[in-house]
Amino acid sequence: MCAILTYTREEISKDFFEEMLQRTASRGPDKFRTLKVKGGWLGFNRLAIMGLNCKGMQPFELNGNAVICNGELYGFKALKSYLKSMGYTFQSDSDCEIILPLYEKLGTKMFSLLDAEFAMVIYDDEKRKFIAARDPIGIRPLYYGYDEDGYILFASEPKNLTGVCKKISPFPPGHYYEDGKFISYRDMTEVKEIRTDNLETITKNIHDKLLNGIKKRLDADAPVGFLLSGGLDSSLVCGVAASLQDKPIETFAIGMDIDAIDLKYAREVADYIHSNHHEVIISKQDVLDALEPVVKALGTYDITTIRASIGMYLLCKWIHENTDIKVVLTGEISDELFGYKYTDFAPSAEAFQEEAKKRIRELHMYDVLRADRCISVNSLEARVPFGDLDFVDYVMSIDPEKKLNTYGMGKYLLRKAFEPDKFIPHSILMREKAAFSDAVGHSLRDDLMEYAEAHYTDEEFEEKRKKYTHATPFTKESLLYRELFEKYYPSQSDMVIDFWMPNKSWKGCDVNDPSARVLSNYGASGK
């Protein structure tokens, strides 16, 4: 994944800055480097993915300017050829080496032109200032804060900034920072025109754009693997990828030692696409032992995120310890675009669309955060095909009337789009969704709730929850997570806006547990 850190204060010591940088060494274990410039420091922990030799090490420098970037710039080879024709020479095969030449030509206009997932900081030597930017969905993490004297810092994770910044905030996706201001360059929820295409056109576009999004994410100089839950989204990513490769892909699934819903479905997909499949089995004790490390890695107290992270964290830990895989593709972001079990209760197409916009805006605090931290803390890089900018832009512009579940099956458009290809078994393509934390094993959620229940008396719960005025814990499980969060990120709860829950204002969604299992329409999803 890589980690970046910037402190816009020149007089701090190198040792102090390096200590801050090393807090995220697991993101980039291959090598680290710091650079002092006029006005501050830049630091980089590298996980080598493109251009594996030392020439790809950052910060990159050009004509006095410098850049650090945690990112993947898709289509960079064409841009590199263009820049070569303009007289630039390159020292490495790294995609990120093109950033400074692009900045020289385009300035901050370049951010809106990038087909990329990134977090970066540029030092402009001529203007003696720092410019930071983050991709439009926030797939790559970036946080900021100010020290006690008002100097701004940027970092890949909050843990880099604890103890230095009183308040730590997520850098807004689709924005860049310059001269003390955060400026929006692209809003993925802004739909310029609702597309009223017919069903055939819609499904063809969904198919072609997602296939392209998967294809471009297979480009890596390091080994690539795939997380396979057996659900629709990860199965599609694996099925498409397998069809594009000339050798079996590496797939990985995880489940509890009892009642692991999805292992059998993942195995069915793996057999169908002829992947080299790996299963990781975990126990109740594995889940409980992972809880605190997961909260520490995530930097959240959100119930949904933590439950769903434990399986992903343990699976990625196994991948890191037992394989040479460095890049993993995942199925995140499909739910927010096409709907989840609770969006079946949307009272109107307009309400569905507004909810999708809200979820896309907040993704960087929940599902995207989960994928990034669970994967990066285990020294791997996440790639998220459903977050492809062209794909997201198109799906958000589809007439929401067509995205409502009026077909008797959620995510109908996505399923229909890939029906002719037979990339995955038809039974999987049409299988109803199960919540990931439940699908790892129904007992995972139950074990966590039982553990929390035994941790507090009713009186202790009522007393302790009251001291948290923001995102007040409402169950013993949520209090347990909040106390673990406060241990590592004291008084930083504002980094997450609230709990990732169904829209309680909708009839049928006023529930006190985020699992789709409690909804009346869950039906056979968890079987």
| Residue 149, helix vs strand vs coil | coil
Nearest-CA neighbor of 389 among 71, 111, 116, 184? 116
CB 383 within 8 A of CB 325: no
* Count of Cβ atoms closer than 10 Å to residue 465 Cβ: 18
Our CA angle for 162, 3, 60, nearest 5°, is 125
**Buried b / exposed e across 65-94, counting CB within 10 Å, b at 16+?**
bbbbbbbbbbebeebbeebeeeebeeebbb
Query: Quick check: bond before 490 cis, omega within 30?
Result: no
Q: Which residues are identified as catalytic?
A: 2
Measured between alpha carbons, how far is 122 from 99 in angstroms, rounded to an integer? Answer: 9
Residues near 351 by Cβ (< 8 Å), separated by ≥ 6? 506
CB 155 within 8 A of CB 142: yes
CB 41 within 8 A of CB 151: no
Q: Where are the beta strands (DSSP E) in 57-193?
A: 60-62, 65-73, 116-124, 129-134, 143-146, 152-155, 168-170, 175-178, 181-184
Stretch (H or E) spanning 483: helix 476-488
Q: What is the DSSP letter of 124?
A: E
Q: What is the 3-state secondary structure (H, E, C) of 174-196?
A: CEEEECCEEEECCCCCCCCCCEC
Instruction: Say which residue the tokens 């499980």 belong to.
Output: 477
Task: Order across the sheet with 129-134: list the strands.
Answer: 60-62, 65-73, 116-124, 129-134, 175-178, 181-184
Measured between alpha carbons, how far is 510 from 432 in angstroms, rounded to an integer? Answer: 22
In this structure, what are the phi and psi dihedrals at residue 386, rounded to the nearest 5 degrees?
A: -70, -10
